[in-house]
């Protein structure tokens, strides 16, 4: 059997592009997400297109207790994990309604920590593997318009940074991918600037390139690195007046 990769949140637009990318390079695919029917349909398409093994698994990021069971039920140990699931949530609702805030934090941060801790321990023991997390530029600085989501992604970015430092001596590579705007279901209906908006395929290309080169942190598109460099250096007294 060829090397396999576990894709968490596999029904997302970005995850689908990542699955196509790994499939096209001959990887076996383990698709995990909430709706296994959708994943089974995707699996059939991926098998047909790329002639690779594809299996689908139920995975809910906020059903923490189920994560170990999912990991133990996988056929063999995957070579790597790509953690894609996420929840943008509604900032205004989150400010008044704890359940919306908690769902945003639990999906983007706690759930990711819960499942990736399990993968990390397994890879560390085996002395090999890779973990790629899709975080966000929103985690680089909290903004009025989405700081609940942004702070959860900031936590995820910091988690991946620590994990990378812990696991490098075991030969396990950890990559953080920080997209800016991407045209997906998540941003549907938002007026994102065309020049700054990537496609899911661009994220997938960056994920594959980062995996092959063992890159620690990657921005999609590359220019977001410089945009965020400027944004994080704006003084507080100016930043608080900006409508960001
Ligand atoms: N689009 C952007 O502009 C952008 C920018 C920066 C970062 N990102 C990040 O990129 C990643 C992929 O997002 P996307 O743009 O491809 O959006 P998307 O198509 O809306 O994907 C979000 C995915 O997360 C899954 N998900 C949500 N809650 C879950 C849970 N409790 N358990 C398991 N899966 C859950 C959804 O599953 P269901 O199909 O079951 O709902 C869906 O597959 C996310 O982490 C997002 O934060 C996106």
Phi, psi of 29 (to 5 degrees): -120, 130
The Cα–Cα gap between 16 and 39 comes to: 10
Pocket residue to mutate for ligand 1, from 6, 7, 12, 159, most atoms within 8 A of Cβ = 12
Which active-site residues does the annotation give? 149
Q: Is the CB of 61 under 6 A from ligand 1?
A: yes
Backbone φ/ψ region at 26: left (φ over 0), alpha (ψ -120 to 50), beta = left
**What is the token pair recorded at 197?**
């908006």
Smallest CA separation from ligand 1 atom 46, residue: 86
DSSP at 145: T
Statement: residue 76 has pLDDT above 90: no
Alpha carbon nearest to ligand 1 atom 18, residue: 12
Contact call for residues 97 and 149 (beta carbons, < 8 A): no
Average pLDDT, the chain: 97
Orientation angle between helical segments 147-167 and 111-126, nearest 10 degrees: 10
What's the pTM? 0.97
Q: Is the CB–ligand 1 distance for residue 182 below 6 Å?
A: yes
Query: Residue 130 — very low, low, confident or very high, per pLDDT cuts 50/70/90?
Result: very high
Sequence-ordered list of residues with C-beta below 8 angstroms from that of 48, at least 6 positions apart, any chain: none
Cα separations (Å) of 63 from 87, 128, 138, 145?
Answer: 15, 27, 25, 28
Per cent of the chain over pLDDT 70 is 100
In short, whether 176's Cβ falls inside 6 Å of ligand 1 is: no
Which segments of 59-98 are extended strands (E)? 80-83
Q: Is the CB of 33 under 6 A from ligand 1?
A: yes
| Burial class of residue 141 (count of CB atoms within 10 Å of its CB; 0-12, 13-18, 19+) | middle
Whether 80 lines ligand 1, by a CB cut-off of 6 Å, is: no
Query: What pLDDT digit, counting tens, does each position of 135-178 carry?
Result: 999 999 999 999 999 999 999 999 999 999 999 999 999 999 99
| Homologous superfamily, domain 4-239 | NAD(P)-binding Rossmann-like Domain (3.40.50.720)
């Amino acid at each position: 059997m060829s090397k396999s990769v576990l894709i968490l949140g596999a029904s997302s637009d970005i995850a689908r592009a990542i699955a196509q990318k790994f499939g096209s390079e001959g990887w076996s695919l383990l698709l995990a997400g909430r709706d296994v029917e959708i994943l089974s349909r995707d699996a059939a398409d991926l098998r047909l297109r790329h002639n690779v093994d594809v299996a689908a698994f139920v995975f809910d990021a906020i059903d923490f207790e189920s994560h170990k069971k999912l990991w133990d039920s996988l056929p063999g140990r995957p070579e790597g994990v790509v953690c894609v699931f996420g929840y943008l949530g509604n900032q205004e609702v989150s400010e008044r309604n704890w359940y919306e805030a908690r769902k945003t934090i639990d999906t983007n941060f706690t759930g990711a920590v819960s499942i990736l801790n399990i993968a990390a321990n397994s890879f560390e023991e085996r002395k090999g593997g890779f973990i790629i997390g899709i975080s966000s530029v929103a985690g680089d600085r909290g903004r009025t318009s989405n700081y609940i989501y942004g702070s959860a992604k900031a936590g995820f970015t910091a988690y991946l940074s620590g994990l990378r430092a812990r696991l490098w001596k075991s030969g396990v590579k950890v990559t953080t991918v920080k997209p800016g705007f991407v045209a997906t279901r998540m941003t549907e209906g938002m007026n994102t600037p065309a020049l700054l908006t990537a496609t899911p395929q661009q994220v997938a290309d960056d994920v594959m390139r980062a995996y092959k080169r063992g890159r620690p942190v990657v921005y999609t598109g590359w220019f977001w690195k410089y945009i965020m460099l400027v944004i994080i250096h704006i003084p507080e007294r100016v930043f608080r007046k900006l409508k960001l």
